[in-house]
């Protein structure tokens, strides 16, 4: 399975009391499908799954699968720094019908290279849904090595990598292992075009939360051969994308959605409301691109 295009790393909306707002989640899913989003990722970093219970995670996956109903692929974030927990969650979401699973490197534990590889292969060997690796060292404090990616790319049930290191040299190095059976997605919204130029298949995007059509169009134009048009979208929104990361994700993107009237709620500690000076930066960039 090769999902091409814009996959939104969807936020999880909360009620004022902090509980998951499933009605709003349904609205967001419908909005994304209507605006051309090519795939939905729930329970990623942007989805705040690290502060949600296993029961809440399960309910979000179940609700998303039922609501989307095969109209676009749904990927479930099933990662953990504990391999046994990641396996348990991955098996559950695969059985629910998730089209793919996003599995993260073992944060805090870190692991040596063989442990890192077995962290992923233990899951990929035992689940029916295909696995996408998630490399985000800025979050986890550890990174897949080039040699580990080479080995993992050959596993028949590992179909790709979300590359979010921000290191174009690393991305270039692992691009040698891309094929019809192993693809790469940009995990950094300011590097979508560079990753596409290396043979990438699209983006797993924070930016798409507020701009689903534009993110879809950016990738679609690239594959249609309109490289200049794709680059123009990347450059137009670059400063706004940077503003979306002026504080730790997903704080700014939820603030942006609320400013747009989407009413997605707040955060769970340790995430907290943006500093006023950063809100002003975000709002200024939103105005420049017509979101406010």
Active-site amino acid positions: 134, 162
Return the C-alpha torsion angle 188, 191, 196, 200, nearest 10: -30
Instruction: For residues 46 and 249, give the distance between their C-alpha atoms in angstroms, rounded to a whole number.
Output: 6
* CB-CB neighbours of 127 under 10 Å: 23
> 3-state class of 134 per DSSP?
strand
Instruction: For residues 276 and 174, give the distance between their C-alpha atoms in angstroms, rounded to a whole number.
Output: 40
Q: Is 141 left (phi over 0), alpha (psi -120 to 50) or beta?
A: left
Judge whether 61 and 78 are in contact, CB under 8 Å. Answer: no
Q: Cα dist. 75→198, 264, 275 in Å? A: 23, 21, 32
Pinpoint the alpha helices (H) of the chain.
22-34, 54-68, 83-96, 113-124, 137-140, 146-152, 168-174, 192-197, 212-224, 227-236, 238-243, 251-259, 276-288
| 3-state secondary structure string across 106-119 | CCCCCCCHHHHHHH
Judge whether 241 and 207 are in contact, CB under 8 Å. Answer: yes
250 upstream amide cis, omega within 30 of 0: yes
């Amino acid at each position: 399975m090769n999902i091409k295009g814009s996959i939104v790393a969807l936020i999880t909306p909360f009620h004022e009391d902090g509980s998951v707002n499933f009605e709003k989640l349904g609205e967001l899913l419908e909005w994304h499908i209507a605006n051309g989003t090519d795939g939905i990722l729930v329970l990623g970093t942007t989805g705040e799954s690290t502060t949600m219970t296993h029961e809440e995670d399960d309910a979000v996956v179940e609700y998303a699968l039922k609501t989307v109903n095969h109209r676009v692929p749904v990927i479930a974030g099933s990662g953990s720094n504990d391999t046994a927990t990641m396996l348990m969650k991955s098996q559950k979401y695969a059985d629910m019908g998730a089209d793919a699973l996003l599995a993260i490197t073992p944060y805090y534990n870190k692991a040596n290279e063989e442990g890192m590889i077995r962290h992923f292969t233990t899951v990929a060997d035992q689940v029916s849904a295909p696995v996408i690796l998630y490399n985000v060292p800025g979050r986890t404090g550890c990174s897949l090595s080039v040699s580990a990616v080479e080995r993992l790319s050959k596993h028949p049930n590992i179909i790709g990598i979300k590359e979010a290191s921000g290191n174009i040299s690393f991305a270039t190095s692992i691009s040698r292992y891309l094929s019809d059976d192993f693809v790469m997605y940009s995990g950094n919204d300011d590097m979508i075009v560079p990753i596409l130029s290396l043979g990438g298949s699209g983006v797993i995007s924070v930016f798409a939360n507020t701009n689903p059509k534009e993110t879809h169009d950016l990738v679609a134009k690239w594959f249609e051969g309109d490289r200049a048009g794709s680059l123009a979208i990347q450059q137009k929104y670059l400063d706004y994308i940077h503003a979306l990361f002026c504080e730790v994700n997903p704080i700014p993107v939820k603030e942006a959605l609320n400013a747009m009237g989407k009413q997605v709620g707040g955060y769970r500690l340790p995430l907290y409301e943006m500093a006023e000076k950063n809100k002003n930066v975000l709002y200024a960039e939103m105005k420049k691109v017509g979101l406010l």
